[in-house]
Structures are given as C-alpha cells and as structure tokens.
A and B are shown apart, each in its own frame.
Chain A
Amino acid sequence: MDERLENILSSYNGNNNEVIPILQAVQHEFGYLPEPEMSEVARFTGLPKSRIYGVATFFEQFKFTPQGKNLVVVCRGTACHVRGAKRILEEFEERLDIKEGETTEDLEYTLGTAACIGCCALAPCVMINDDVEAKLTPKKVADYFSKETADEV
C-alpha cells in the first residue's frame, strides 16, 4: 500500500460513514482518486468496490484523472449568470484551449464550474485556487493571462 494512503487510513476506523472524508483526504493528498487507492479504501471500510466507485462518482468534488496545478472554477450561479458568466467561461476556454471539466496538457490548469461559489454580490466571479476573482470581465480574464505570461518571462 502506498505510504501516503497508509498515513491517511491510520486516522480512521473504517466505519461506513468515513467513506467520504477518507476519499476527500485521498484526493487532497493525491490530487485525484487513483484506482488502487479506491480499492484499498473499499477494503479498509469493508465495502464493495463498486459502491465506493458509485459514491465517488456521485459527487462533483471527486476527480478520477490527475488535475492541473491551478484550479479555475467559474461560478454559474444565478447572479453571475445574469451578469455574464457565460462569456467569462468562454474566455477561459479560449485562453486555456480546453473545455469545461478538462485539464491542459501541461497539467497547469483545470477548468471547472460550480453551481455557486456564494459571492453573488461580486458577480461574475471565478475562483482560482483559493482566491476569488470578483466582478470579472472578459478583458480582466485576458489581462490575468497576459500577467501570468509576463511573470514567467
């Protein structure tokens, strides 16, 4: 068993109600849910593997492929929608050359959406890693990337 997984499991008892917290910890550690780790979680909790998979795939939070270093989450909330979130998403898709839910080939960015990140008064907004970027416009998105590129140079 992977040592990192062993560490995670050591703080749990293997009860059924720990399934989601354990998967969250695994995802936090590995960046996604690798199959061998999910198998071990099944064994640890004494639950069928297919059930672990069924639970994991039910929730938005869990990913099954490696994710980008930076996570961009475009809010699709009502307030953001009426203030043009769709254009923001399109701008990110264009800049990153990926579609919603995908990861760039260099594993730098993953682009996602959320039902609402709860910053409605600052709509439209986007969460980049742990930071919220408020009152975005397509231009601000473009600026964000030119700044990134400039930083690299």
Chain B
Amino acid sequence: MADKVQLTINGLSVTADKGMTILEAALRKGIYIPHLCHHRDLDPVGACRLCLVEIAGKWTKIAISCKTEVTEGMVVRTETPEINEMRQVAVELLIADHDTDCLKCARNTQCQLQRVADHVGVDTERLARLREREEKQPIDDSNPFFNFDPNRCVLCGICVRTCDEILNIHAIDFAFRGLKTKIAGFGDKSRLEADCESCGECIVRCPVGALTEKDYKKPTHYVKSVCSFCGCGCGMRLGVRHDQIVSVKGDISSPANRGRLCVKGRYGFRFVNSDERLTSPLIKKDGKFVEADWDEALDLVADNFSKNKGEKFAAIASAKATTEDNYVLQKFTRAVMGTNNIDHCARL
C-alpha cells in the first residue's frame, strides 16, 4: 500500500492515492469543497480561492486544497469559521460581478457558481452593498455552435487551459490585466475570427454559463455509440430527445479518444435529422424520381439483378456503413450474384 495515503478530512478517515490533491481526495470521498477553477483534466492554478482548507500541524495553516498534495496522517478541516468568512466574501464578490439572471441561463441548475453559493451562503446585507459591474458587455455569438457571454464569465481560466493543455491550440488566452482581464483571442476579436477549431472542449468544461452550446436542448437520455466521420473512431454518447439527436458528449471510457471530440464529432451529428434525408425509396420514371414503397422498389431491383448475375454485376460497398452491413453486402455479391466484383473507396 505504498502508493496509498491515509488522512483525516473533517474527522473522516480518507484513503487517497499518493500524489492526489486534498480536493481530489475529498471529492472522491464525497466531501464537497467549494471550487470553481479546478477541473480534473487540467493543472491546478488556485485562482478562485474557494477551495481553501485548514491543515493542522505545528503551525496550522490555510491552503488551497486543489494544489496541496495529501500526506500521510494529514488532518484537514474544510469548514472553519475563518475559511467560511473568506469564502463567503469571495462568493459575494463573484455574484456581484456576475449576470444573475439565472433562469435565462443555459447552465441553470448545472452551474458551479450556483452550487458554491448554495453551499456557502451569502450575507445579503453585505451583498447588497456591493456594486454590480457597471456596463454589460456584448455577448459574442459569432461562432455557429456556441456563444460566449462575458457577463457570466468568472475568469476561472478553464477554457484557456483546456485549449492549451488538452488541444495545444491555445486559440484564447487571458488578455489585459486586473479588472479588465478577459478571455480573448488574438486582437480581442470575435470567437469566429480566433484560431478556434470549434471542438467544444471548453464549452463542456465551462463551470458557469459563459460558454454555452447554441440551441441547446437537454437530452432525455444518452446512447453510447461511435462517431461516423473519420477513422479515429471516437467513442461518443448521443443525447436523445424524442426522435432526435440533440447533443453529443465524448465517451470517457473509449480508449480511442478518452472523451475528447473534434468539431465534426461534437456538432456534425446534425445531418442525422436533416430535412434533406431520404425517407422513401425512389424509382426513376421518365427521368424523374417517384416515391415508391419498399416492396415495389426491392422487387424492381431484384428483378434486374436476377438477370445480371455473374460478371455483369458489381457492388460498391461503403466505408461509412457498419462492418455487419459490409459483411452482408460482400456475401450477397459473392454468394448470391456469383462474382467478386466488389470494392469500396478504401483508397480514397
């Protein structure tokens, strides 16, 4: 058990992996420590100052739990009056600086700031004394897949770190300083003009309503599947609502992509429910397509194929179709039509 560490958090005995932070150990144990800028996929920065905890020792000290590693025998308290006071002030400052029209926010009920505020609570009198940000900033809706609302941004930097650490694209960064700090691409232009590849990894990780998917509809359930574009074979979870795919999430359990997706994988699903989908067999009559039922179409095709068995027949298979589809088609070509004239676009 050399790679395990035993510690105490709020009087509970917790076993953690060596190298884990206090925050990770606590969250795994089900102990909530308020946090905003922490994300399990990213390096900690300790900017939000909410995850402060008290560590007992020769000198009892207050430290941020997202960056402090667990040590054997460590005794941690996550809720002392002193810490709570600091947290409460931090939350009030964030709320005063935040667009609080929550019901109109796409992240309502999923928002980490709501969760933190709910947990910490606020001193309403003090909060009332704080001044709201004077001018509202315009929402950047230039990207076709997502919006950026700076009025709901808490500058946790998760999007910046995602783009840098996970994508290595670094399309956005912090710009300016102090109170004027904002998340911006080169030249502080619209997101559409940034070097952004619209993969949506930052949208997924945004803890608040600053980055939200456009026309987002909440799925009723998810179905595990695989992306149908390129050969990476990314595992994905298709979000279903009624008879439509309404959103897509990366599948963390898939070894091919470990939850990550590109722009096509995440947003390209919309072709499935396109109005242009073929919905009925078509037979060309006098140069024009006429809708037909399956029996009529299949009979017509079968009749023709029966006359052209052997080398007069060929099939082109699809690298988009399933392995099972392909198996059946080549079996059909070989066993039923009696020819090896089958190929697909493997070379293209």
A interface residues with partner B (beta carbon < 8 Å): 35, 38-39, 42, 48-54, 57-59
- Of B164, B173, B175, B186, the residue contacting A39 (CB under 8 A) is B186
Partner of A50, one of B176, B177, B185: B185
In the assembled complex, the CB of B97 is this many whole angstroms from the nearest CB of chain A, namely 20
Chain B, Cβ-Cβ closest to A35: B187
The total number of A-B Cβ pairs within 8 Å is 48
- Residues of chain A with a CB closer than 8 A to B176's CB: 57-58
B158 at the interface (CB under 8 A from A): no
Which residue of the partner chain, among B164, B174, B177, B195, contacts A49 with CB atoms under 8 Å?
B195
Whether B184 sits at the interface, judged by CB under 8 Å, is yes
A58 to B177, CA, bound (A): 5
CB distance from B193 to the nearest CB of A (A): 11
Interface size class of B (residues with CB under 8 A): 10 to 19
- Distance (whole angstroms) from the CB of B192 to the closest CB of chain A: 14
Q: What distance in Å separates the Cβ of B15 from its nearest Cβ neighbour in chain A? A: 40
How far apart sit A129 and B12, CA to CA, in the bound complex (Å)?
64
Give me 8 other A-B pairs in contact (C-beta within 8 A), A49-B185, A57-B188 excluded: A35-B186, A48-B164, A50-B184, A53-B185, A53-B188, A54-B184, A58-B176, A58-B177
Inside 8 A of B188's CB, which chain A residues have their CB?
53, 57
Interface check B194, CB cutoff 8 A: yes
Residue pair A54, B187 in contact (C-beta under 8 Å): no
How close is B334's CB to chain A, nearest CB, in angstroms?
A: 53
Which residues on the B side are within 8 Å of A35 (C-beta)? Answer: 186-187
Judged by DSSP, the binding face of A is helix
Q: How far is the CA of A50 from the CA of B184 in the complex (A)?
A: 7
A48 to B186: give the CA distance in the assembly, Å.
9
Minimal Cβ-Cβ distance residue in A for B172: A50
Q: Once the chains bind, are B175 and A57 in contact (CB under 8 Å)?
A: yes
Minimum CB–CB distance from A100 to chain B (whole Å) comes to: 14
Please tell me if the beta carbons of A53 and B186 are within 8 angstroms of each other in the complex: yes
Collect the chain B residues with CB atoms within 8 Å of residue A39's CB: 186
In whole angstroms, how far apart are the Cα atoms of A58 and B182 in the complex?
A: 11
Taking the closest CB of chain B, its distance from the CB of A47, in whole angstroms, is 8
Residues in chain A near residue B169, CB distance under 8 A: 48
Sampled A-B contacts (6; CB under 8 Å): A48-B195, A50-B175, A53-B185, A54-B173, A54-B174, A59-B177
CA gap between A38 and B172 in the complex, in Å: 15
| A54-B175 Cα distance, complex, nearest whole Å | 4
B77 at the interface (CB under 8 A from A): no
Docked complex Cα distance between A48 and B163 (Å): 11
